[in-house]
Structures are given as C-alpha cells and as structure tokens.
Chain A
C-alpha cells in the first residue's frame, strides 16, 4: 500500500515536471466534419510550438458555436455559417464571432461504378432523396430499384446535404443511414442500385461520382464555387485572434495547414 502511494506521488511529480506551466491553453470545439482538420493541425502545431496546449473536441457545429457563445471554447469549428440568432446571442454575451474559412468541402453524389447513369440534376437528386423517384429507369438507367443511402441525421455532412440538395425537405424514411463517409462509399461500392453522398476525398474503387447539373465535383469546381454541393468550413474566433491563437489560425491557413486539410480529404484554399 505504501509503495503504491509512493509510485502515485512519483508519477504525479514527474507529470508536474514535464507539464509546461507557461503553456497557453486553446480549446477547440464543434463540427465533426472539421474535426479531422483541427485535430491533425493541432498535433502538427504542438510539435512545432511546445508552449501550446490545444484541446480538440467534436460535438457538432451547433454545440461548438453554443460553447463559443458561452465562452467555454476559444475556437468554434463549424461546417455552416453562424446563424443570425447565434450572432445576436454572442453579441449579448460580449463575444464577437469572426469567421475564418479553413478549407472547402465538396459533397460528391456517388453511385456504383457499374451504374450507366453518370449525370444527374439537382432536381433529380432531390427527387431520389425525398421519394419521388425510386427506379433507375426513371433516370435513363436499368430497371432497378434505387437504394438510397444517407448519413445519420445528426451528422454535419447530412446537415449540409439537406440544406444544399434538399432545401430542408425530409429524406425518405426507408433510406439506409450509415455512420460515416467511408461506410456510405463502401456500401455504394457493394450495392449495384445504390446512391449515396460523401466528402470528395472518400470516393474509392467500386463507386464513382456523378456530375450535378453537368458539373463534376473536383478541387477546381469546388474552389470556384461552380459545383452545387460545395461549402466552406469555418473556424470562429472571438474578434481578431492574438498570440498563440493567431499563430494557430495562421498555421491552419498556411500552405502547410492546407496540405493537412487536403490529406484529410478536403479541398485546400490554394
């Protein structure tokens, strides 16, 4: 028992020695879509700047912005722009949300690679997802039932897709809900009649992206805003950042930070 106590105290002492007491702590919270960028960037940043201590949490865009308003996080990750009601709340709480676009994301519409259909319109996609269109023959394909695959309704990608593609209409209830971009793409790859949507970086063998209103989702079309289902990803700070916070935001926007974003499957800002 005595030995145990000794070990515990020794461990604490060692920890206390290694923990830099002058570290500046940054808390990042919010969108699970932005999470991989924030995480990878934070790791890389902390390797270079030993006096920074960054905590990254998910939770969703709404949660991140709510924490930002309450002052419990320094950076709110968001896969959507802050809403007017949220800005009002922030201002009442003495917070001044300033947006930083950290990457672009394109949501590709994917189908099985054996599917002859390679072009869809926004209207057709809405029809498929809301239930008006349910057979590929209605779209110039074979007589085959469309297996609609969507993301769980609480995911950020779903939220973006619902806004960009469905104008807030409800997804047909018999759509298969998958928990991640990878799960969507791999299910599409195994299911000849399937359609799904996923971030640009996730398309793998067996599935292919279709054009939307004639535009193929690529880095260029997403960056230029030509592709219909593209969106910026944000980090919000309180006013103009200073000190380590500024260094971190600058790092994320730097070519090195943008390379990290591209490695995570997003489109860098050049």
Chain B
C-alpha cells in the first residue's frame, strides 16, 4: 500500500517534470538567442541592422543590414498567403459544408498527409521540377525566385490553414445553421451570412498560423528562393529570406564572431515575428471560443 502511494508520487513527479520540460527549453532558447544575438549591437546600431540595405557579412569592413532579408521573408510569405488562403479555407469550407461523409473521410487524411511530407522533399521538387518549368513557361532568366518559393510555401501551409479553419467551422453550433434555414435562408446565404462570420476569427487564426508556418520554413526557401540578398522588386527575382541566410551561413561563421552574432540576431528578429503571430492567433481564437459560448 505504501509502495503504491510512493509509486503514484513518483509518476506525478515524472510527468510534472516532463510537462515543464518544454517551458525549460523555451526559456533556454530565448536566453541563448539574446545572449548570442545582442553582442552584434555593440558593432552596429539596431536601426542600421534592421534597416540597412547591404548584407555583406564576411567583407572587410562587413555590412550587417538585414532589410533585404526581412523583406524577402515578408515577400515570400505574402505570396504564400495568396496560395494557401484560397486553397486552405476553400477546402475547409468544402469539407465542412458540402462534402459527403465518404468524400470527407478520404479528403481530410489526404490533406493531412500533405503536412507530413518533409520540407526537403518540397524543396527538391521546387528546385528540380517547378523552377525549370516556370523558367521556360514564363521566360524568366532563372526559376529560383520568390514566386517559386511562394508557390511551394503556399502548398506547404495549406494543410495548417485547412485543418484549423475546418475546426473553426465545425465549432459553429448547429443551432446557428438551423436558425438560418428556419428563417428561409438558402445554403449559400447561410454559409456567407452566418457560418463564415461566426467562424471568422477562427479562420483568421488559421491564416495567421499558416503565415507563421510559411515565414519560419527554411529548407524550401534555401533551395528554391535563389538566395540573392536584394530588396525584392518583383516576384520573379531571386530573394534571400532570413531563414535561408541563417541556414546557409551559420555552418561557416566563426563561433563568437560578429557574423555569428549577427545570425543569432536575425534568429531573434524571426523569433519575435513568429512569437507575435502566435500570440495574436491565440488571442483571436480565445475571443472566438468565448463568442460561440465554448470554454475559453
């Protein structure tokens, strides 16, 4: 008996430790990002780091301006939104409103499998097939550009957007739809006037999390975006998003040097961006749950 109680205590402790482990990892990562990233601001000011237009980290004297990298990340993420929002939200609407049970039971797992394809495979596909194809089709000098990267990122973010949007739609209480039908609205009117507005903030959460997925993606943009650190003027130019710069340069930057610290500072900027995205998504989705009378 005493032994059993002891066992129970041990289990409780083990799981408490496990639960708090993620918190410890998060705090640890944040501390490291700040400790390794901040020293660069002794060499360049925050403003010239964020808004400098030249990224020549290994020259003498080096230029640590990450504006082209930030804009490239935003650029490809915006492009990805044009793909993943219609695809993701559209398929969520179809799944939730129109699909028969049979279609649903096939489509939903298929969309989820799309999420489980490793990003290197997407990258490889983009590099070997999509980029040369677009290059011939659109007569652009090189297919490795923001457009190709956006296209692939959009497809990659679609399952995230779709499954969260689908959840949001399924949270809309049956009573809302029934009430709408009862006053004589047809299916389309119910969808556009009742269901989508009710699920709107849930769908926004889905889109923000999709953005977060796209902006943090590394391997694909490293392989497909082309990697030129210029301020983008069109979608058909090669760009160098923040993640690609970190991944490509970290391996050869001398540990503890300015370049190394600058890469950590980029990681810090990226972390802040996704952190804000996730907080906003969390706030919106909480409001949404309260609005629909679900627990917060």
Contact = CB atoms under 8 A, between A and B. Distances in A.
Contacts of A194: 142
Interface string A56-80: 0011101100100000000000000
Contacts of A62: 254
Interface stretch (B102-110, B188-196, B222-230, B279-287): B222-230
B54 A174 contact: no
Nearest to B226: A176
A45 to B, nearest CB: 25
Interface string B216-246: 0000001000111110000001101000000
B199 interface: no
B203 to A, nearest CB: 37
A193 interface: yes
A153 B59 contact: yes
B170 to A, nearest CB: 43
Interface residues of A, number: 31
Contacts of A60: 252-254
A201 B185 CA distance: 71
Given A145-B141, A176-B226, A170 B135 contact: no
Contacts of B58: 153-154, 158-159
Interface in B43-59: 54-59
Interface in A144-193: 144-145, 147, 152-156, 158-159, 168, 170, 173-179, 187, 190-191, 193
Given A191-B135, A193-B141, A173 B252 contact: no
Nearest to A32: B252
The winner among A158, A187, A193 for most chain B CB atoms within 10 A is A187
Q: Is the interface on chain B under 10, 10 to 19, 20 to 34, or 35 or more residues?
A: 20 to 34
Interface string B118-148: 0000000000000110010000011110000
Nearest to B62: A153
B68 interface: yes
The winner among B55, B142, B253 for most chain A CB atoms within 10 A is B142
Given A173-B54, A176-B228, A177-B229, A190 B251 contact: no
A63 B260 CA distance: 12
A78 B222 CA distance: 27
B213 interface: no
B178 interface: no
B272 interface: no
Contacts of A175: 228
B132 A177 contact: no
Interface in A201-237: none
Contacts of B228: 173-177
A193 B142 CA distance: 8
A187 B259 CA distance: 27
B255 interface: yes
Nearest to B229: A173
A178 B224 CA distance: 10
Interface in A21-65: 32, 58-60, 62-63
Interface of A: 32, 58-60, 62-63, 66, 144-145, 147, 152-156, 158-159, 168, 170, 173-179, 187, 190-191, 193-194
24 contacts: A58-B252, A59-B252, A59-B255, A60-B252, A63-B254, A144-B141, A147-B142, A152-B252, A153-B249, A154-B251, A154-B252, A159-B58, A173-B54, A173-B230, A174-B237, A174-B238, A175-B228, A176-B142, A176-B226, A176-B227, A179-B227, A190-B131, A193-B141, A193-B142
